[in-house]
A and B are shown apart, each in its own frame.
Chain A
């Protein structure tokens, strides 16, 4: 386990700011305790300092996971956000997409969201903006990337993709082995 270097922190913050914008401050500077990011086996974990201090008692090869895994760094140092970060990103999300009950299932199986399944979308969503996908009952389902701006979404035909799938809570079952 080690703290992130400056470049790694920058890459990660850039990725996170795509979804939550400047609300990253609220993750770093929390009123209810000091929380920090640590890197272990190329994965970034978010934990309170109490947990961190306890985790130092476990040897590196025996340590599987600490706190919440936000994502991992690939071999070429790109940051990939995992579904396990949803709990922390959902409350601070800037741009949200609500999906109709019919195509909820489709999204949870890992498919992209089409215009026909789109319920609501926040106004002024830019193209390729990171969005958090909710069901109509305001249950966060996962992340995505807006394929079209809000304006365009109104005009396109119902079979075109409006949100690219990035992560969904179905992954907890699908990729149970690889998630830490």
Chain B
């Protein structure tokens, strides 16, 4: 109770004197506000309302910046620029969204750099490669096709498509088909097969694009594997060791497959004749260069001829002196020489000239 009284007194006092103050203050504020809305700048700002961006190209007075009033200077600068930006905002067209007035931002004009690197072009799929090779262009097709049966426009493919052969109520059995075969089931199965193959090819295209290695047919585990696929998987697993399956023992009744290994590839039967000719000529050239320059037999023959000449000369000389003996010795020499040189000539090397008589 005692505490309250002075408060009340103070309050009334405050009430009485502050009334004019408040009014004055309000007036001053108003003035400031009005002043505040208009900002004068040397150069006009550049605005990008789409990004809520204002670009101020005015020079900064460095004196003011250095004068230890940095914070104030910066704050006032920011305040002025923000004011100008908001003035710009008010010029935009407005619309009302859930009792709130909202300005509609135009498209941003400043180009921002990429955040992430540009995406690499995808490698073409198998079909795209083929189409490029053959020069097949994509043909624009209409979305809807007139279905005569249902007498309405239906989509070209997909749910409730125009010509769905799985939905026919009557299928004629072809002449060469088994009469007990279920044709409807056959069509459904074919459809499922096509869908599965399409999916498989799509996944293969993706794997090829991202260079992911995929195991071959039958090696990736699937719920139903045939005996052949399992056998193939077993064989591949067997040779997947460091020594390529050389030391892997067989199971009791297992037989090693004999026909493993690559099939030989030959040149096409009617290839490029000129290139074939060229290859053969090159082969001949190589063969010629590999022949030894010293022909062993020629050297041997030459050697033999020289010896013959020598022996003949000697014969002539001796004939005069020794007569028959000379002849005999010549003969003996010739015969023995011929016989001796025969076997020697076969495997004789040119250096072994000491063997001569």
Contacts and interface: CB of A to CB of B under 8 A. Distances in A.
Interface of A: 1-3, 5-6, 9-10, 13-14, 17, 22, 24-25, 28-29, 34, 36, 38, 49, 52-53, 56, 124, 126-127, 129, 148-152, 155-156
Interface in B260-286: 266-271, 273-274, 276-277, 279-281, 283-284
What 7 A-B pairs come out closest when comparing CB atoms? A126-B297, A155-B338, A2-B266, A3-B267, A34-B273, A28-B280, A151-B304
A168 B132 CA distance: 60
Interface of B: 266-271, 273-274, 276-277, 279-281, 283-284, 287-288, 295, 297-298, 300-301, 304-305, 308, 334, 338, 341-342, 345-346
A6 B280 CA distance: 9
A5 B283 CA distance: 12
Contacts of A49: 270, 273
A156 B304 CA distance: 14
B270 A13 contact: no
Contacts of A28: 277, 280-281, 284
A154 to B, nearest CB: 9
A23 B122 CA distance: 56
Contacts of B345: 127, 149, 152
Contacts of B341: 152
Q: What does DSSP make chain B's interface, helix, strand, loop or mixed?
A: helix
Given A13-B283, A28-B281, A152 B338 contact: yes
Given A34-B273, A156-B338, A13 B298 contact: no
6 contacts: A3-B267, A3-B268, A6-B279, A52-B269, A149-B345, A151-B304
B277 to A, nearest CB: 6
A17 B287 CA distance: 10
A52 B270 contact: yes
A9 B283 CA distance: 9
B281 A29 contact: yes
A5 B298 CA distance: 33
Contact of A56 (B269, B300, B334, B338): B269
Given A3-B276, A28-B281, A124-B301, A10 B338 contact: no
Nearest to A150: B301
A29 B271 CA distance: 16
B280 A126 contact: no
Contacts of B266: 2-3, 5
A93 B272 CA distance: 29
A3 B268 CA distance: 7
